A = this chain, B = another copy of it.
């Protein structure tokens, strides 16, 4: 089986590394519109070869590992692929992407969201074990041909992923809470500190807690603006829910309702029984 990966950053590059170790795959080909990324991906052995987009279109499976807006733009160029070619998108939002899949390749298409990543990006951020023991969500597979769905299942499970099927609207709502909202919060926390008179003195005291909470604010602004754009409605709703929680925390502190505050914190700790 030949694999074509469009986008050779953290997501595409790590996939290339992982796939080179499976017996299912004969060749991993890569494409990126950024030439430096192509050179880096080659020298880091993320893929076997760099090829043209037309060569990518001849692969058995094409993975789209580019920002969600770019996925939507690229889908149009895949309208004429062979009926045996599987197309998998790796984007963080699913609703808008699924809507934009051309009818002629709807059966070929698997909308996937690997719940894996780091705050780093680009080919140098890629590593072979990124996907191991992580979840990948498949959306809208009722319109995907079994042949293509099974192929994607096989590939993802061979790189150590566990597959979850979910309706795309549900996915976008859940991913918002689990990933998009936390990113907005982390950027806002970082900006609260950066906006202070003497951020250096404040950050001198930073230990593990703050580092964890601000880590997501290292992520690529371009990529995340794009995700926020695609999942705008859900993000606005979840931001409002979060604001309500935080404001009730503030009110309890203002009113010195310490017992109530402690019990609110106690509710929060129960999340770790599920996590």
Contact surface of A with B, Cβ cutoff 8 Å: 115-118, 134-135, 137, 164, 166, 170-171, 174-175, 177-179, 181-196, 199-219, 221-222, 224-225, 228-229, 232, 235-236, 238-243, 245-247, 249-250, 253-254, 256, 258, 261-272, 274-275
Contacts and interface: CB of A to CB of B under 8 A. Distances in A.
Nearest to A173: B202
Given A117-B207, A228-B261, A258-B229, A217 B178 contact: no
A155 B224 CA distance: 46
15 contacts: A115-B206, A170-B201, A174-B201, A178-B202, A181-B189, A182-B209, A185-B189, A185-B213, A191-B264, A194-B268, A213-B213, A217-B269, A221-B266, A222-B262, A243-B243
A214 B190 CA distance: 16
Interface secondary structure of A, over-half rule: helix
Given A178-B202, A205-B178, A239-B250, A245 B135 contact: no
A213 B210 contact: no
A137 B194 contact: no
A254 B269 contact: no
Given A177-B193, A203-B271, 19 more contacts: A117-B207, A135-B205, A171-B205, A174-B201, A174-B205, A179-B205, A181-B192, A185-B213, A191-B264, A192-B241, A193-B271, A195-B245, A200-B274, A212-B213, A214-B275, A225-B258, A235-B253, A236-B253, A240-B250
A96 to B, nearest CB: 14
